[in-house]
Amino acid sequence: MGGFRTIEVKRSIFDNNDRQALELRRELKKEKVFLLNLMSSPGSGKTTTLQRTIEALRAEMRIGVMEADIDSDVDARTIENLGVKVIQLHTGGMCHLDADMTRQGLAAMGTENVELAVLENVGNLVCPAEFDTGAVKNAMILSVPEGDDKPLKYPLMFSVCDVVLINKVDVMSYFDFDLDKCRENIRLRNPNAKVIPLSAKTGEGVDVWADWLRAEVKTWREEA
């Protein structure tokens, strides 16, 4: 293995990140590339969920993955084993990616023959939510052990997400986690967010998530 590359992405020197993000989305639409920004806290099961997602969709669409981390290549090695295009992004200590850093990653990975590009953002519930990466859609994972009150404690993260995946529902009986209460807390922050309970470990709910993503990619490419 070890066929993927690792690049050091540098934070943009430009102040207008929103402008750069908008331009990146325009470029991606022309190329018919759907970019998903996947966020969560460390330990939520982000990489395992991504593995399940790739397994569900790789037979029908070409997928590329950008693994962002402060300094490691563990996740890229894991994804590489699935046979999809992958690149590791090192942020040089930054706890997030902005639009220009994402652009650097896409350029290094190459978007030719890619229909779905996934940015697995740095594990953090604060910084990644503050910067528009240029993604078409934002998704986040909240795991059951983290608690159903996280939408109240980290409002910005939940307000910027188009879909919230509630992972590790297979262990819900072992934790003081109220799914209905969590849904309500999310609704208070973002009434338009789709909530999908799933278990990346058992596969429960992954089909619902894959269907949602499949439909979004199809719509994006048809509108291009």
CATH number at residue 91: 3.40.50.300
Residue-range definition of the domain harbouring residue 17: 6-138+205-223
Residue 154 counted as domain residue: no
How far apart (Å, rounded) are the C-alpha atoms in residues 17 and 207?
A: 34
The CA–CA distances, whole Å, from 43 to 27, 145, 168 equal 33, 10, 11
Say how many domains are in the chain: 1
pLDDT at 43: 93
Q: Report if residue 174 sits inside a domain.
A: no
Q: Give the three-class secondary structure for 89.
A: strand
| 46 class by beta-carbon count within 10 Å (0-12 exposed, 13-18 middle, 19+ buried) | buried
What pLDDT is stored for residue 2 in this prediction?
66
**pLDDT number for residue 184:** 98
**Is 194 part of any domain?**
no
Quote the pLDDT of residue 10. Answer: 63
pLDDT of residue 3: 79
Is 149 inside a domain boundary? Answer: no
| Spans of the chain below 50 pLDDT | none
Amino acid, single-letter form, for residue 85: K
How high is the pLDDT of residue 151? 97
Query: Considering the entire predicted model, what is its pTM?
Result: 0.92
C-beta separation of 111 from 104 below 8 A: no
Residue 197 located in a structural domain: no
Q: Is 184 part of a structural domain of the chain? A: no
User: What is the pLDDT, as a whole number, of residue 93?
Assistant: 76
Residue 77 in any domain: the answer is yes
Is 153 within the bounds of a domain?
A: no
Res 220: pLDDT = 97
Q: DSSP alpha helices (H): ranges in the chain? A: 17-31, 46-57, 74-80, 99-109, 150-153, 155-159, 179-189, 206-223
